[in-house]
Amino acid sequence: MRYFIEFAYNGKNFHGFQSQPDASSVQETLEKALTTLFREPIAIVGAGRTDTGVHAKQMFAHFETELELESDYWSHKLNSFLPPSIVIYRIFSVHPDAHARFDATSRTYEYYIHTFKDAFIVDGSWYHSNPLDIQKMNEASAILLEYYDFECFSKVHTDVNTFHCKISEAHWKQKGNQLIFTITADRFLRNMVRAIVGTLVNIGLGKMEVSDLHYIIASKDRGKAGFSVPAHGLYLVNVAYPYIEYRK
């Protein structure tokens, strides 16, 4: 049977989601726990990759086993095998062809910036004390929805076949001393969100004009875009599927 797991993690102590040699990853940690719990080799396929230090408030992965799993019991048991930085919300059966990566119709990320020094959120939000023009940053964010090719925001020497992404939402909001950037797309390129945020921050600082974003995107040149903001302020917050009923 094929199962989905819904989970979250604090990425601070992981070298991203995907397994890699000689580095701790979320995927490896989950697979070891599942293998130990079910007493059979378990491999998982995630909804996507997150880079070193990036967090996920909602992530999905699928795996297969002949065991019949009851969500409440097995999710509780699996949590007991995992470190505090990873939490399992539920395990549920899906149709045999369901795919955690390819079936996802959209993904939503949030990036957090705090503008006043705060000792309690410093590990999950980027401290940036210089004033930012949120109106200009939102004007520039709206421009993103006009384009499909985002090679200028992609990590160079990546192995993707296309740089096309359909962004359906991109905006900033302010809550007290915290700024939150939300962006939704059908897919994302490596380092894309962090490069977009860095470019928008440059616009908010007045180092770039709003209209410069058209030129940057058309250039397809990573060197023309802004810097990549630190990973610890970035969260994957939603992965959407047409056949999943979401927790309330």
Name the catalytic one among 22, 51, 159, 186. 51
Q: What is the DSSP letter of 149?
A: B
Contact 12, 235 (CB under 8 A): no
Identity of the amino acid at 30? L
- Based on the residue annotation, tell me whether 51 is a catalytic residue of this protein: yes
Which one, of 166, 171, 187, lies nearest residue 236 by Cα? 187
Helix (H) or strand (E) holding 117: none
Q: How far is CA 172 from CA 5, 109, 181, 183, 232, in A?
A: 30, 12, 4, 9, 18
Find where tokens 């000689």 sit. Answer: 22
Find where tokens 């999943």 sit. Answer: 244
- The catalytic residue positions are 51
